[in-house]
Amino acid sequence: MSQRITDMLGIDLPLLAFSHCRDVVVAVTNAGGFGVLGSDVDFSGDLARYIPDAQFDFVNSVLAAHGIAPLLPTDLDQAMRVDEQHGRDLLEVAMAHPISLIASALGVPPSYMIEAGKARGVPVAALVGAKEHAMRQVAAGVDIIVAQGSEAGGHTGEVGTMVLVPEVVAAVSGASDIPVLAAGGIVTGSQMAAAIALGAAGVWTGSVWLTTEEAETHPVTRDKLVAASSRDTVRSKSRTGKFSRQLVSDWTLAWGDPQSPAALPMPLQSVLSEPAMARVEQQAALGNAAARSLASYFVGQGVGLMNRVRPARDVVLEMAEDFASAMERVASFMD
């Protein structure tokens, strides 16, 4: 097995875990994997004035139908920014700490990120959903490619992991020696072994950490994730304006109705949806069953295998054991 990722990042297991929760990141890292702390780039508070009445009224009609008070225009005001200087400031904050990796989830990382990474010896990773995207990342100078299949939670393309990973590996290996991580629906050690067999140097995971004890997942949403099957997710623009895989709910169904208005382009859809979903979670926690039917979150098709709540450390150890067993099974075919 290639040791490029484990050597590059100084880890025991080629398992990277993306989470917005620092406790998950710490637990995974202490257990031998590599935790990646997620940080969203914020949006300008002035964007609220660009929300059309049709979409604003539609959201309020959905909320009203579920016994939730409507949003006010002031609920959309957010003290957020998307300018380049803000991005540079966030990068400086990250680089001020002893980090070992920085990653870009959407598009080619800005040149200042790649330059800062090379100057400070910090590898830069980038997520892609197509071979063409991977080649642009290689040309830009990134150090690690994360090939994320359609099964993944969050923003995804249309190509499944089983096809995308070897396609990206073949394309990248012909142009460079950049390691490729597999992502998309991976929640078990046997899937990690399959990714290695496909040519990946390791795996990038996200959804599996949402049902850990340390996760920031809202309890109502976590319960729905634990009960969900692999068929209970959908790629929808209803949350961000770009296709992202999330748990099916009355929210995604409402926006998927042919009579609904079109989702707004990114970042406007998030300016509208996030305060609405925050209100949904609040009401669901208070016992509003109708609000619970609206609750949703970004999650991949691997949710069908995430059927219990457990510590993040236990997830890492179980994946490691399952990975070892799977590799032994593969090796037995060579005897």
- Per the listing, tokens 């949402």 go with 210
- What local confidence, expressed as pLDDT, does residue 47 receive? 77
> Sorting pLDDT into bands at 50, 70 and 90, what band is 4?
confident
Residue type, 154: G
Q: How distant is the alpha carbon of residue 196 from its chain centre?
A: 21
- Percent of the chain scored above 70 by pLDDT? 95
Pair (25, 97) in one structural domain: yes
Checking if the pLDDT of 79 tops 90, the result is no
Determine the 3-state secondary structure of 148 from DSSP.
strand
**Alpha-carbon span 241 to 279, nearest angstrom:** 19
Pair (25, 121) in one structural domain: yes
- What local confidence, expressed as pLDDT, does residue 316 receive? 97
Pair (14, 92) in one structural domain: yes
Phi, psi of 54 (to 5 degrees): -60, -45
Contact 250, 66 (CB under 8 A): yes
Q: What is the DSSP string of 282-328?
A: HHHHTT-HHHHHH---B--GGGGG--S-B-HHHHHHHHHHHHHHHHH
Residue with more model confidence, 84 or 329: 329
Phi, psi of 165 (to 5 degrees): -60, -55
Checking if the pLDDT of 1 tops 80, the result is no
Checking if the pLDDT of 241 tops 60, the result is yes
Containing H/E element for 220? Answer: helix 219-227
Checking if the pLDDT of 80 tops 60, the result is no
Domain span at 243: 45-79+229-294
Whole-model pTM over 0.95: no
Pair (188, 108) in one structural domain: yes
- Give per-residue pLDDT as tens, 173-223: 877 789 999 999 999 999 999 999 999 999 999 999 999 999 999 999 999
**Alpha-carbon span 205 to 36, nearest angstrom:** 10
**Alpha-carbon span 305 to 228, nearest angstrom:** 9
- What local confidence, expressed as pLDDT, does residue 2 receive? 56
> Sorting pLDDT into bands at 50, 70 and 90, what band is 87?
confident
Segment 291-296 shows an average pLDDT of 96
Residue 283 included in any domain: yes
Give the C-alpha distances (Å, rounded to integers) separating 177 from 8, 141, 232, 326: 13, 12, 38, 26
Give the C-alpha distances (Å, rounded to integers) separating 55 from 175, 228, 234, 261, 296: 45, 29, 21, 6, 19
Residue with more model confidence, 67 or 75: 67
**Alpha-carbon span 284 to 273, nearest angstrom:** 16
Residue with more model confidence, 119 or 40: 119
Checking if the pLDDT of 88 tops 90, the result is no
Pair (255, 191) in one structural domain: no
Contact 134, 142 (CB under 8 A): no
- What local confidence, expressed as pLDDT, does residue 83 receive? 59
- What local confidence, expressed as pLDDT, does residue 175 receive? 72
User: How many residues appear in the chain?
Assistant: 335
Pair (89, 60) in one structural domain: no
- What local confidence, expressed as pLDDT, does residue 78 receive? 59
Give the CATH number for residue 124.
Answer: 3.20.20.70
Determine the 3-state secondary structure of 246 from DSSP.
strand
Segment 234-262 shows an average pLDDT of 96
Residue 304 included in any domain: no
Going across the sheet that includes 102-104, the strands are: 34-37, 15-19, 202-205, 180-183, 144-148, 124-128, 102-104
Please report the beta strands in 49-150, taking only residues with DSSP state E, as ranges in sequence order.
102-104, 124-128, 144-148
User: How many domains are contained in the chain?
Assistant: 2
Contact 30, 18 (CB under 8 A): no
Pair (202, 255) in one structural domain: no
Residue 218 included in any domain: no
Residue 36 included in any domain: yes
Segment 155-163 shows an average pLDDT of 95
Pair (197, 130) in one structural domain: yes
- Give per-residue pLDDT as tens, 5-34: 999 999 989 999 999 999 999 999 999 999
**Alpha-carbon span 330 to 283, nearest angstrom:** 49
Structure tokens at 256: 């998927």
